[in-house]
Amino acid sequence: MPETHYRVEGILPLRGEVTVSGSKNAALPCMCAALLTTEQVTLHNVPDIADVHSLLEIFTYLGAEHSFAAGDGARPGMLRIDARNLQNKPLPHEFVCTFRAAILLLGPLLARFGEAKMAYPGGCVLGKRPIDAHLDAFTQLGCENLSTEETVSLRGRVQQTEIVLPEFSVTATENLLLAVLGSDHAEVTVHLAAAEPHVQDLCIFLRAMGAEIAGVGTHDLVLHGARLHGAAHTVTTDYLEAGFFALAGVLTGGDLRIRGVRPAHLHSFLNALTRLGVLWVWESEELLRIQSGVPLKACTVKTNVFPGFPTDLQAAMGVAMTQAHGVSRLFERLFEGRFGYLFELEKMGAHVEILNSHEALIIGPTPLRGRTVTSNDIRAGAAMVLAALCARGETLITDVQYIERGYERLPEKLRKLGASLERCIPAPVESPRAHDQIPRSRLRSVYELARVAHGVPRGASEKDL
């Protein structure tokens, strides 16, 4: 696929109403849950994003039939999955190397076949992101871990009745739900489970398929496996996209209504908006109105597991902090590689001090200027779009394939609200403009961040990173 860029002309106030799409992080595990039954499953509100298509490619490889009618703005997407002919084949590197959510196939394959094998999944480089929590969880369940340096490999059925996850890992919790609930008669209590809205949504769907789950939305889940049957489910809306649009309204001085927002999903984020000085109100159920025009105040934001401030909105909040009066503090508690976007913001004129890989100061307000910037991952890419929307002049955002892994029809949605944003395919060779190059001094900081993120000892050479 040719590399695609976004060309954005900034400082146009966004006005009007936007409806958030189905959640990527809910749709992917629900799609994997469909593999637990030999009956047909129908999922509504599935977003038309690259990650959904990557997972469908793997389904085809494994023999699961599917048909996807993508949404068109007026109608949400609908996906039918029929996994009666599912086969158990090892998943090769090319299927999983850019797609971490492929790890969610371990649970269904173990439940259906008693063994699962795949190359190590890749995905956004946000830090070390080991899959230890998954392997630990499956081993505690009673599975044999036969993984090597090249492949993740597990064998066995659910034997244990009580396990404690090593941390509140979202996808490890989802994998456990899939492995246990797809195993007839299994009964397992899981402690330290993640409680994110997408984990809850998977539980709701699994219940519709016939599973019994107690404690949904808490960190202690009691699971009763069963022979699961076909069901229909509407994937929950994407609170991360809602947060993105809320900040787009704030940063462009616009007046936005965002439809499809579940209040319970965004408490911490909305509290942070209040601390930032933003005026927001629930106009009706699930309709959030963001009014701007009030000066923003510096604030402190610390990411945490749900219901804390979501790490996936940390970069978007970092952009808003560049426009706030005073010194804002950002603590990224979950990942050690999620501040790379701050270097891109610096290129645009932001004043940033990265204290370590988990803590940064943002001193504002600083006007942002259009530059060529890159998307480091899905959420950092979305943050670049926010920065471009409030920057003077034209911004070119590269590597938008990351953004398109997670946001449905973003350019179209933004244009409808009044933004000037074009998707474009660049000329093959581009010589970078002088101001787009990261100065040598800043490059050292990039290496330093990467060194910390990858656990490489101080003094190692740049090529070790």
What is the nearest approach in angstroms of ligand EPU to the Cβ of residue 393?
A: 28
Give me the least distance between CB of 278 and ligand EPU, in Å please: 23
Written as one letter, the residue type at 444 is: R
Q: Which of 59, 95, 138, 168 binds ligand EPU (CB under 6 A)?
A: 168
Name the residue with tokens 């696929």.
1
Select the residue interacting with ligand EPU from 25, 45, 140, 322 (CB under 6 A).
25
Binds ligand EPU (CB under 6 A): choice among 8, 101, 417, 419:
101
Number of residues that bind ligand EPU (CB under 6 A): 24
**Contact range with ligand EPU by CB under 6 A, out of 71-79, 125-133, 414-422, 435-443:** 125-133
Q: For ligand EPU, which is the closer residue by CB, 298 or 319?
A: 319
How many CB atoms sit inside 10 A of residue 423's CB? 13
Site track for ligand EPU across 361-400, x = CB under 6 A = -----------------xx---------------------
Query: Among 38, 153, 189, 311, which residue sits at the site for ligand EPU (rule: CB under 6 A)?
Result: 311
- Residue closer to ligand EPU by CB (options 28, 226) is 28
Dihedral sign from CA coordinates of 52, 174, 121, 88 = negative
Please identify, among the stretches 164-172, 206-214, 348-356, 418-426, the one whose residues bind ligand EPU according to the rule CB under 6 A. 164-172
Least distance to ligand EPU, CB of residue 253, Å? 27
Answer for which of 162, 167, 422, 464 binds ligand EPU (CB under 6 A) is 167
CA distance 325 to 217: 37
Please report how close the Cβ of residue 310 comes to ligand EPU at its closest, in angstroms: 6
Q: Which of 136, 312, 399, 408 binds ligand EPU (CB under 6 A)?
A: 312
**Residue 147, Cβ neighbours under 10 Å: how many?**
15
- Give the separation between CA 317 and CA 202, rounded to whole angstroms: 27
**Are 20 and 237 a contacting pair, CB within 8 Å?**
yes
> Please, what is the minimum distance in Å from the beta carbon of residue 262 to ligand EPU?
17
State the distance between the two ends of the chain, measured CA to CA, in whole angstroms.
27
Smallest distance from the beta carbon of 152 to ligand EPU, in angstroms?
A: 14
Least Å from the CB of residue 17 to ligand EPU: 25
Contact 10, 393 (CB under 8 A): yes
Single residue of 56, 102, 133, 141 touching ligand EPU by CB under 6 A: 133
Listed in sequence order, the residues at least 6 apart from 414 whose beta carbon sits closer than 8 Å to its beta carbon are: 14, 248, 385, 389, 421
Subset of 38-97 contacting ligand EPU (CB under 6 A): none
Query: One symbol per residue from 394 to 413: x for binding ligand EPU (CB under 6 A), - otherwise; what is it?
Result: ------------x-------
**Segment near ligand EPU (CB under 6 A); pick from 30-38, 84-92, 121-129, 455-463:** 121-129
Tell whether residue 171 is a contact of ligand EPU (CB under 6 A).
yes
Q: What minimum distance in Å lies between the beta carbon of 99 and ligand EPU?
A: 9
Query: Segment near ligand EPU (CB under 6 A), from 35-43, 170-178, 339-347, 388-396?
Result: 170-178
Considering only residues 181 through 240, tell me which ones interact with ligand EPU, judged by CB under 6 A: 194, 198
- Closest contact distance (angstroms) between CB of 338 and ligand EPU is 8
CB-nearer residue toward ligand EPU: 358 or 409: 358
Residue of the chain from 49, 247, 320, 334 that contacts ligand EPU (CB under 6 A): 334
From candidates 335, 341, 343, 407, binder to ligand EPU by CB under 6 A: 335
Q: Count Cβ neighbours within 10 Å for each residue of 209-219 and write b for 16 or more, e otherwise.
A: bbbebebbeeb
Tell me: does residue 269 bind ligand EPU (CB under 6 A). no
Residues labelled catalytic: 124
How many angstroms separate the CA atoms of 292 and 279, rounded?
Answer: 7
Footprint of ligand EPU on this chain (CB under 6 A)? 25, 28, 100-101, 124, 127, 129, 133, 167-172, 194, 198, 305, 311-312, 334-335, 378-379, 406
